[in-house]
Amino acid sequence: MAPDDRVKALMAAFQKTPYFQWMKRQGIPVVGGYGLEDVRDVELARWPKLGGQAAFINLYGMEGVTGMYVAEIPAGGALEPEKHFYEEVICILNGHGATEVWQEGARKQAFEWGPWSLFAPPLNAWHRLINGGREPIKFLAVTNAPVVMDVVHDEKFVFNCPYVFSERYSGAEDFFKVGQKRYENGMQHIWETNFISDIQSANLDARDVKGSGVRITQFELSGNSLIGHLAQWPAGRYHKAHYHGAGAILCGLQSSGYVLLWNKELGTRPYESGRGDEVIKIKWKKGSIYCPPGGWFHQHFNTGPTPARHLAIRYGSRLYPIGFKTADKRSEDGVYIDVKQGGTLIQYEDEDPAIRRHYEEELSKSNVSCEMPTYN
């Protein structure tokens, strides 16, 4: 089956799920595909429940384990207060504002944010986003609502559950301050923080095993199983190809380039085996989003003149591991281990030669020199 046919078949199947039916009832656009060139350009419509303009995004690779929407806070206004029985990670795309958070019957706590701030409202806690400026604010939100709604299939419970998760959030004064606890766990650098003021400038840790000059830091937010990481790599270089489970959302933050996606069933050298026409190429830049399908190799390329940086929101918490990720060899450290040793990473010397040739051609169009290491 051709890749486009797979997308159509899977999206048709998703329409039967409780989560998809709930999305349709909201009366706002639902945008699909492998990725979007700029999430900030998505056409929005009034979402009464939220109190602002919004659109759902349901990319092929999300596969029912993550949900996503982009929304707008009107100038000088605020969204409706809400709470929900699913986790949510919010990335501010532009503008300055504040968020109020509180538990039922308790005092409100507020914190301010700006462009490219990132945070997670605690599970089932009330929260409201406020815009004190003169221009609309857009933000991206990634959730695990599909899993919760498809299991519970009771909208009233999801949005009106009375239980207070006090162990996750009890109104501590420093809860939304930038965390200072950073350490190494397995092959991953961990940063425990419930708030990141600017994901474009946050300090990252060296992780060359993922690629030449690559820096990656995983952040843990608000006691979530839904967390993420930030990755950066130099101009003239690209990541090693790897695969993992479904649902990881990636957003371009700096520079520009492209990503290659192909089903692992095509092998480690799809062009050499005559199946290069089944490889998907998606261009990315600041504001682009894409989602590699589960079990698909993907490889991130920087063709711009400056270091590239991406945000990834995904499962894989080291503090609160979730069973289906722990049991999956594609999770935890598998993305750092050579496929020849049972992992899911293709070393540069083992990749399809056409990948390097194509990259050098793309760099020449941008007048950027190739800084990739050589190998025999």
Give a yes or no: residue 173 inside a domain: no
Based on the number of CB atoms within 10 Å of its own CB, is 125 exposed (0-12), middle (13-18) or buried (19 or more)? buried
Give the side-chain half-sphere CA count within 13 A for 48: 3
Tell me 338's DSSP state.
B
| One domain for residues 154 and 202 | no
Q: Does the structure show a pLDDT above 80 at 269?
A: yes
pLDDT per residue as tens digits for the range 156-198? 999 999 999 999 999 999 999 999 999 999 889 999 999 999 9
Q: Where are the alpha helices (DSSP H) in the chain?
A: 3-14, 18-25, 145-152, 155-160, 323-326, 353-366
- Pair 57, 36: CB distance under 8 Å: yes
Q: Does the structure show a pLDDT above 80 at 9?
A: no
| One domain for residues 151 and 277 | no
Structure tokens at 341: 């040793």
Average pLDDT over residues 251-277: 97
The proportion of the chain whose per-residue pLDDT surpasses 90, expressed as a percent, equals: 88
| One domain for residues 254 and 151 | no
pLDDT per residue as tens digits for the range 137-163? 999 999 999 999 999 999 999 999 999
Give a yes or no: residue 376 inside a domain: no
Interatomic CA distance for residues 238 and 211, integer angstroms: 7
> CA 39 → CA 11, 131, 303, distances in Å?
20, 20, 20
When the pLDDT of each residue in the chain is averaged and rounded to a whole number, the result is 94
| One domain for residues 151 and 245 | no
In the prediction, which pLDDT does 325 show?
A: 62
State which residues form the domain around 130. 3-160
| One domain for residues 42 and 127 | yes
Based on the number of CB atoms within 10 Å of its own CB, is 136 exposed (0-12), middle (13-18) or buried (19 or more)? middle
Q: Does the structure show a pLDDT above 60 at 329?
A: no
| One domain for residues 17 and 146 | yes
pTM for this one?
Answer: 0.95
Specify the pairing of strand 188-192 against strand 215-220: parallel
> CA 112 → CA 97, 131, 197, 199, distances in Å?
6, 10, 9, 15
> CA 329 → CA 244, 334, 335, distances in Å?
8, 6, 9
Give 13's pLDDT tier (boundaries 50, 70, 90).
confident
pLDDT per residue as tens digits for the range 332-355? 677 889 999 989 999 999 999 999
For the chain, the first-to-last Cα distance in angstroms comes to 36
Domain count of the fold of the chain = 2
Give a yes or no: residue 76 inside a domain: yes
- Pair 144, 87: CB distance under 8 Å: yes
- Pair 340, 334: CB distance under 8 Å: no
Q: Does the structure show a pLDDT above 70 at 297?
A: yes
CATH number, domain at 154?
2.60.120.10
